[in-house]
A and B are shown apart, each in its own frame.
Chain A
Amino acid sequence: MIPIEFFLAFAAILFAIGAYGVMTKNNTIIVLMCVELMLNAANINFVAFSAFTGDAMGQVFVIMTITVAAAEVAVGIAILLNAYKLKKATEVDGLASMRW
């Protein structure tokens, strides 16, 4: 059996990549995808712990998360489209009208 550390390390790497993307990328689509990466990193943790403890609750949560994530992506893309219509920009830096 693969030890749990491998799963955790993998999830952590995935999360770090996602976080890095959110923090550095200017393109909104990529930012959204990176958010998905971080979500899935959490899902992996859930599944891994669920398998190791033999508790199905973790897998239930994963299904739940995937559902919510799908809805979230739909809303996110809709916001993006509207923002693009208004500002003619897909860059995050262009959407800074809430500053001081």
Chain B
Amino acid sequence: MFIEYTWLIPVIPLLCFLIVGFLGNKTPQGGGYIAITGAAIATVLAVLVSCEFWTSAAYSDVGYVTQQITWFTLPGGFTLHFGYYIDSLACLTMLFASFIAMLIFVYSLGYMHDEGVRKRRYFGEVSLFLTGMLGLAVSSNFLEMFIFWEIMGLCSYLLIGFWSFNHPDGDAASENAASAAKKAFLVTRLGDVCLMAGLFVLLFAFKTLDYADMFTEEALAAVDPNMIILGSLLIFGGVIGKSAQFPLLDWLPDAMAGPTTVSALIHAATMVKAGVYLTARCFPLFTQCSWILLWVAIIGGVTAFFAATMALNNMNIKKVLAYSTLSQLGYMFLALGAGGYMIALGLEQGNEALIVAGSAGYTAGLLHMVNHAFFKALLFLGSGSVIHSCGTEDMRKMGGLGKKMKITSITMLIGSLSISGFPFFAGFWSKDLIIESVMHASDFGEQTLFLILWFLAIVTAFMTAFYMFRMWFMTFQGVEGVNAHHTHGESPKSMVVPLCILSIFAAGLGFVILFGFDNLISIGENAAGNLQVGSGEGKGFEYITEIFGNVYTWMTIVLVLMAMGIAYLMYSKKTMNPGKFNKNGESRLYHALTMRWWFPQLYDQIAWKLGYGVARGVDFVDKNIIDGTVNGISNAVIGGGEILSKAQTGNVRSYTTVVFGGVVVFFCVILGIFWYMGGL
């Protein structure tokens, strides 16, 4: 009964966008309340739809419910639809996206308080952003998904560049924001172009882009496997761009130029999560070939590791969080890759147990997506609260804020514990399951590779705990920094309340795994034999014995505690000097990390050489050779006329000479022709 109204979920924020966009300044808070109301209605609808979907037996057999109308047709029997497709994955995504977005909007009331007329723009754009994410979650086919995907790209461009002119911190900051917005759009566009190519491949191969028609055994079997592999890889290219995975990971830290709430939205509720969603959505395709998922896992593992290293020595509180997002996204892809690898092998060998084992990885990845959404929203909003209060993003100028901002400090601590994987906080459960499933995958072929990935994951867990607590101690403990002296104290209620709500989830959400989360979000074969989300069997409390009966879990916990201890000694108690390890910032590794492993330079060089360099060449060719030829011809005609006109000397004698000469020559030619023709 509610599912028929699923289409309203993206449409309501869209309406809010239009209302705020046109009338925002006539309403209080620049349309802030309208945006919040829209997000709230979307949340309620999402909850109702999800409840109905999960409770109704009619849907659980098939695993999805879809309804669509014809949009237009392409000649050659391709019909493109517009509609919704609800399964557990869609429910999960729209639930956390709408809920977190709503909290962020509420928080924005306080955070963007001083923006004046620009609030209209802000609330309009964030509403559109939410439309993008919710539309993506419920779309019934790849093309519709792609449209919302690109709308999110546009919104991220607009919002990262929110301060790209008239920045409160001056012109340099404006320039930086404009450049960061451009970079975000272009790098994700590179991915989007791949994704679009993937759509062409799939559309041509499947003759349809509807999930319901593509993800069936017959459809998959009828298509050339090479085309599926090509399409899957191209789609994953889009994912790499959107979720900022290696090697397209560089735009996300730059995107910190936008308001902190936007960062929270991008990192927690929308944008980067779209990549994870799409990978999970495409599992029936990806699992057709195991090495696609091997790539997913490798890219995830490498990103997790690299991003974590760059967070180790960063002094900017938002950038540390940005790198941690990259790193955590890497975890999600590692989990999806490892799990999917097992599923793919299981499908190849017809091994049911392998599919079940792989399904655990899938569940872990998506659980981490949800957990991450909550604790990262919490951390970003917390950092926003700190920035709002101190007016700086540099952690060296903070310090000792714990006493002045108690609630922020405690909620941030909860978030840090959660992301570090401290036992029983949300992040612990999902991260442990991820590491475990990578370990599990190493039992089935590609052993070395998965062991290396496992090792990277463990090291990343250690680093995560270290840099998160480094951040927390530098901000809230120790000596008061320059800006910490004159803070406004705790932030207003509209900012603190969302923090508290988020911290509850960040602390306790992990327990859902014990209460049937894996029953809803797992992948397996449904009644019709198609690979679908939400048809696994929940293990429930077995997880406790499974996790704590495992030596690797304890190892991870010890590593995390060690990292937290080191951070404490270095940045709170200051008995250990961090300068000892990096030669006071002189070591080459430290330099490499500050330079972000030279990724930005690499991109700038590529963009400059391949873009502007070639463009200059083309421009030169255009101006000088092509247009030069045209102007040359015209000059030749004009010049030739000039030269020939010189023959008009006005001298009668030379005219007569030419006339006589002409007659003689003409006569001779005629004679010659007659002679040649034999007429003479």
Give residues in A with beta carbon < 8 Å to B.
19, 22-26, 31, 92-93, 95-100
Contact = CB atoms under 8 A, between A and B. Distances in A.
A31 B652 CA distance: 10
Given A100-B645, A100-B646, A19 B651 contact: no
B660 A19 contact: yes
Nearest to B648: A100
Contacts, number: 34
A98 B657 contact: no
Contacts of B651: 92-93, 96, 99
Contact of A99 (B649, B653, B656, B657): B649
Contacts of B76: none
21 contacts: A19-B660, A22-B653, A23-B656, A23-B657, A23-B660, A24-B653, A25-B653, A26-B653, A92-B651, A92-B652, A92-B653, A93-B651, A95-B652, A96-B649, A96-B650, A96-B652, A98-B648, A99-B650, A100-B645, A100-B646, A100-B649
A25 B645 CA distance: 25
Contacts of A99: 648-651
Given A95-B650, A100-B646, 19 more contacts: A19-B660, A22-B653, A22-B656, A23-B657, A23-B660, A24-B653, A92-B651, A92-B653, A93-B651, A93-B653, A95-B652, A96-B649, A96-B651, A97-B650, A98-B650, A99-B648, A99-B649, A100-B649, A100-B650
Nearest to A24: B653
Contacts of A19: 660
Nearest to A22: B656
A23 B655 CA distance: 9
Among B645, B648, B650, B657, find the residue whose CB has the most chain A CB atoms closer than 10 A.
B650
Contacts of B652: 31, 92, 95-96
B290 to A, nearest CB: 84
A14 to B, nearest CB: 15
Nearest to B654: A23
A100 B656 CA distance: 17
A85 B649 CA distance: 23
A36 B657 CA distance: 17
A26 B650 CA distance: 14
Kindly list the 3 A-B residue pairs having the minimum CB-CB distance in the complex, ordered from nearest: A99-B650, A96-B650, A100-B645
B263 to A, nearest CB: 76
Nearest to A96: B650
A97 B651 CA distance: 9
Interface string B631-674: 00000000000000110111111001100100000000000000
A99 B645 CA distance: 9
Contacts of B648: 98-100
Nearest to B657: A23
Interface in B402-431: none
A23 B660 CA distance: 9
B653 to A, nearest CB: 6
A2 B657 CA distance: 34
A25 B653 CA distance: 8
Which of B648, B651, B653 gathers the greatest number of chain A CB atoms within 10 Å?
Answer: B653
A27 B652 CA distance: 11
Nearest to B651: A96
Contacts of B646: 100
Contacts of A100: 645-646, 648-650
Nearest to B644: A100
B645 A23 contact: no
Contacts of B650: 95-100
A98 B653 CA distance: 13
Contacts of A31: 652
Contacts of B645: 100
B644 to A, nearest CB: 9
Contacts of A23: 653, 656-657, 660
A97 B649 CA distance: 9
A19 B659 CA distance: 11
Contacts of B657: 23
A93 B653 CA distance: 8
Nearest to A98: B650
A86 to B, nearest CB: 15
A81 B657 CA distance: 24
Contacts of A98: 648, 650
A31 B651 CA distance: 13
A31 B649 CA distance: 18
A26 to B, nearest CB: 8
Contacts of A22: 653, 656
B610 to A, nearest CB: 54
Contacts of A93: 651, 653
A19 B653 CA distance: 10
